[in-house]
Amino acid sequence: MQRFQYYIDGEFLDGEARYPSVDPATGLIWAEMPEARESDVDRAVNAAETALYDGPWAKTTATQRGKLLYKLADLVAANAQKLAELETRDTGKIIRETSAQIAYVADYYRYYAGLADKIEGSYLPIDKPDMDVWLRREPIGVVAMMVPWNSQLFLSAVKIGPALAAGCTMVVKASEDGPAPLLEFARLVHEAGFPAGVVNIITGFGSSCGAALGRHPKVAHIAFTGGPETARHVVRNSAENLASTSLELGGKSPFIVFADADLESAANAQVAGIFAATGQSCVAGSRLIVERSVKDAFLSILKRKAEAIRIGSPLEMATEVGPLATKRQQDHVAALVEKSVRSGARLVTGGQRPDGEGYYFPPTILDCDAVASPSLAEEFFGPVLSVVSFDTEAEALKLANDTRYGLASGVFTQNLTRAHRLMKGIRAGVVWVNTYRAVSPIAPFGGFGLSGQGREGGLAAALDYTRTKTIWLRTSDDPIPDPFVMR
């Protein structure tokens, strides 16, 4: 039984309460996690505020911040395998995915390390001859970060990296489900040499930890990744401290395939887009919108590929789909598939949870043509693909935009002008053309509608963790005249 600690003000602490963490592959308890309460949150936020304004971090130059981030990146790379194994054990995400993803996480920290001393202010050509005016960019303040159980090290890196580059301090709340990799990451933060209080990492439940963090009066900004319902609570809580928010939420992403597409290539992208990470990805291409003339052929390819996927222990490199992260997630996916079939959707493959231990669910395809299926509207967050067909480009675009979400989308066609029309017409924050799930620290990422607000990645993310200060300097040596003497 492993025991993890949280990290507050440069110290590793057990906390007053603890709770068990379950291995999704077996359904058995494998570790104990510290449960942060409101008093722990208060201590962490106070430590972050002290570090921001009174500690050595306040005097750390932008270049020095960059060097610390470079060191952290090197430590992440050196410990990638251990972190990957912990994430796999605690969340069920397969080891071949966690290993690759965490190795790439180091590149995010390197990107923001290089950006730290490139965040510039500006000089304003003001309309007054005896004034010089500048804009300074300063850290926005103490940041509350909340990340979900899927890809915690990646989803925290896109927040921690730009916030540290901008000079902020933070309290990071790992999900109560599968927090092990982020709690272990705290040891790398400590080893890298960040001053005490700059990065604080805790875990706990929403009512006793998340709510207290979001409404804390010393929190200036909240960076949240999760579902829309929880995001609504976060936004309501922010009314207490008027903190700004950035929200990266769910998706019901359209994956459009035209008849002229390379169907084999598109099928490989579709399989990766919906079945990778066992479908537990906010950008999962969960709505296949395929041209009617190639629908049967394309579904035949997908069915063959889906049924060939290796399901097994997430710790084995040969495994291609592992378990869902929690029992409640498995129950949710199974119930929504059953509800969709009752509504008229045709089960192409999968659909039945297997016997045995663990929270597994097979790759599933639902043909929802001409059916008002709940699977087309509701987010599964599991390995389930819903399929509809179209006859015209206009119909494809209408189907793509028929959602309250707007995070990601994919378009597969060899027609360049059509691709450009769809790039403009699709209402989503990311449009991939003849590819899917490509990401980079250089490229901003975020959504429209219920998929959130704000962007992560790129320079824009670092600027979101700053606020501007306007400085006026009077350049005239003449005394300021008495404002109450008429001239």
Helices assigned H by DSSP within 276-415: 292-307, 327-342, 393-400
C-alpha dihedral sign at 377, 381, 385, 390:
positive
CA distance 411 to 413: 6
Residue ranges in 36-79 assigned as alpha helix (H): 38-53, 62-78
In the structure encoding, which two tokens stand for residue 110, read together? Answer: 């390197």
Q: What is the DSSP string of 79-141?
A: THHHHHHHHHHHH---HHHHHHHHHHHHHHHHHHHHHGGG---EEE--S-TTEEEEEEEEE--
DSSP string, 4-22: --EEETTEEE--SEEEEEE
| Residue 85 a catalytic site member | no
Residues counted in the chain: 487
Of 35, 49, 85, 248, the catalytic one is 248
Strands 432-433 and 452-453: unpaired
Q: Do 141 and 52 touch, CB atoms closer than 8 A? A: yes
The 3-class SS string of 181-237 reads: HHHHHHHHHHHHCCCCCCEEEEECCHHHHHHHHHCCCCEEEEEEECCHHHHHHHHHH
Amino acid making up residue 483 = P
What letter would DSSP give residue 453? E
212, 253, 242: which is closest to 436 by C-alpha?
Answer: 253
Q: Could you tell me the CA-to-CA distances from 90 to 137, 184, 289, 326 in Å, in that order?
A: 39, 12, 34, 10
Secondary element (H or E) of residue 412: strand 410-412
Q: What is residue 485's three-state secondary structure?
A: coil
Catalytically active residues, by annotation: 248
